[in-house]
Amino acid sequence: MPTAAFIDEHADELVAFCAHLVQQASPNPPGDTRAVAAAVGGLLERHGIPVETIADQESMPNLVASIEGREPGPHLVLNGHMDVYPDGAEAAWSRPPRSGAIEGGRLHGRGAGDMKSGLTTLLYAFLALAADRSFAGRLSLCAVSDEMSFSPHGAPLVLTRRPDLVGDAAIGAEPTSPDFVLIGEKGMLWIEVTTLGDAGAGAFASGLTNAIETMGAVIADLAAWRERDVSIPPTVTAALAAGGTAGLPDEALTYADDRVLHLPTVSVGTIRGGTKINLVAETCRAEVDLRIPAGLTLDDARSFVAEVIARHVGATSLEIQGMEPNLTDPSDPLVQALLDAGGDVLGVRPRPELGITASDTRLWRALGRPAAMIGPRIAGQGMPDESIAVADLIACAKIVALAAKRYLQPSPGRTKPVS
Ligand SMILES: [Zn+2]
């Protein structure tokens, strides 16, 4: 059956499956994805596809499956995550967070966009190619855990245990927009800052150092990261020459917004300090998220943080995690396959664009592989009333399936991958 026809034929099933995934809880924290993994594994097994589980935490399984084409060719990997943001305050939702309701042409619930819909598009693209096998090489699917915290238990573990899944290229499906193929991402630096003060009664605090006040000063200084000058590298300018977000509606700009893309950002995510209202705060801790646009490096961010910390007595910082800004060449066959497939399905070729947030595709880029993403537009990401358009879900499944088929062409001189 032709690839797009498979998606059309299974459209109702695909939408119902996505709603079913939304109904399976997988908030992170704690990141327990077993219910989602059971649904994903069950679907693949019903289609006769063997599934392997890779895990170093019982509650965070990663599922992988591969299918072989008719002749030797490249190895393409589809990667999506099964964990989702926490529900937040349930009272703020118009429907229960795990309703999976389909109303007004939209699928509602936590994870509907990030990224149970994207995961569903990858799954059905995979099933579409499994149904006809008229491709070359190998297609693999990874459904991973703990992406929300970028921990080692998810895709990093899969790539360590199964280095063959680095493949030749990777497609992700975070909620972006069918208007874009995301070919790169900003980098980030996550730090924990600790400040120490003096013990003492608040009433007699004169001359004592208060850890919370020191933290306030550190945070004020960290805000200067936003003022850093960025000179955008020519490679990025060239990559975006045919793209860009000018003129697109705000709802298309969740992941890609040229107004934010080139800005260094800083956000304090958590803060805890002090023990009692009438005692001087002896300790304070804050977790801070700095984002790094192309044109700055991880070391630029590290140096900036070190300079700020050095200015404040009693302050130290610890790096939680860091990643460089990263980019796949827009002329790469993988990107072209996605742009062409988007044009076939939508009638308008999507634009290459860079993403504001980080995703697992960075892991493939760090290993020298091209990686790109396309996914449904999302409303309410990380907020109440998350939803996506059902039409996007179907369109993106077709785009990924057609792109995979275009990319998986015979490559002269290749040997068939060994199982
Ligand atoms: Zn995501």
Q: Which residues contact 383 (CB under 8 A, 6 or more apart)?
A: 88
* C-alpha 90 chain-centroid distance: 24
- Backbone phi and psi for residue 186, each to the nearest 5 degrees, phi listed first: -70, 155
- CB-CB contact of 311 with 195 (8 Å): no
**Percent of the chain predicted with pLDDT > 90:** 78
Q: How confident is the model at residue 418 (pLDDT cuts 50, 70, 90)?
A: very low
Tokens at 56, concatenated: 């170093």
Whose CA is closest to 212, among 302, 289, 279?
279
Q: How confident is the model at residue 75 (pLDDT cuts 50, 70, 90)?
A: very high
Is 187-228+264-320 in the same CATH topology as 3-185+325-407?
no
172 Cα–ligand 1 center, Å: 9
Rounded Cα–Cα distance for residues 167 and 77 (Å): 6
Helix (H) or strand (E) holding 188: strand 187-196
306 Cα–ligand 1 center, Å: 30
**Residue 417 CB coordination number (10 Å):** 18
DSSP lists the bridge partners of residue 194 as 285, 316
221 Cα–ligand 1 center, Å: 30
115 Cα–ligand 1 center, Å: 5
Q: How confident is the model at residue 11 (pLDDT cuts 50, 70, 90)?
A: very high
Based on its alpha-carbon atoms, the radius of gyration of the chain, rounded to whole angstroms, reads 23
Q: What is the pLDDT of residue 417?
A: 47
Q: What is the pLDDT of residue 213?
A: 96
182 Cα–ligand 1 center, Å: 13
- CB-CB contact of 64 with 142 (8 Å): yes
Output 321 or 232, whichever has higher pLDDT: 321
46 Cα–ligand 1 center, Å: 26
Whose CA is closest to 167, among 365, 335, 326?
365
Break the chain into its structural domains and give their ranges: 3-185+325-407, 187-228+264-320
114 Cα–ligand 1 center, Å: 5
Q: Average pLDDT in the 72-96 region?
A: 96
Q: Average pLDDT in the 278-296 region?
A: 95
331 Cα–ligand 1 center, Å: 25
171 Cα–ligand 1 center, Å: 13
Strand order in the sheet with 265-273: 265-273, 283-292, 187-196, 315-323
pLDDT at residue 253 tops 60: no
pLDDT at residue 245 tops 60: no
pLDDT at residue 238 tops 80: no
41 Cα–ligand 1 center, Å: 20
**Percent of the chain predicted with pLDDT > 70:** 92
87 Cα–ligand 1 center, Å: 15
- pLDDT digits 0-9 by tens, 38-73: 999 999 999 999 999 999 999 999 999 999 999 999
Whose CA is closest to 170, among 407, 410, 409, 417?
407
The helices-and-strands tally (H runs, E runs) of the chain is: 12, 17
Q: How confident is the model at residue 162 (pLDDT cuts 50, 70, 90)?
A: very high
Rounded Cα–Cα distance for residues 358 and 269 (Å): 16
Tell me which residue has tokens 């980030």: 188
Q: pTM (2 decimals)?
A: 0.86
- CB-CB contact of 143 with 82 (8 Å): yes
- Backbone phi and psi for residue 318, each to the nearest 5 degrees, phi listed first: -130, 135
pLDDT at residue 145 tops 80: yes
Tokens at 264, concatenated: 């260094």
CATH pick for 187-228+264-320 out of 3.30.530.20, 1.10.10.10, 3.30.70.360, 3.50.50.60: 3.30.70.360
Q: What is the pLDDT of residue 21?
A: 98
For helices 118-132 and 390-407, angle between their N-to-C axes, nearest 10 degrees: 50
175 Cα–ligand 1 center, Å: 7
Burial of residue 200, with CB atoms counted within 10 A of its CB: 0-12 exposed, 13-18 middle, 19 or more buried: middle
Is CATH 1.10.10.60 correct for 3-185+325-407? no
Output 303 or 133, whichever has higher pLDDT: 303
Average pLDDT over the chain reads: 91
278 Cα–ligand 1 center, Å: 43
Tokens at 199, concatenated: 């013990």
- CB-CB contact of 120 with 21 (8 Å): yes
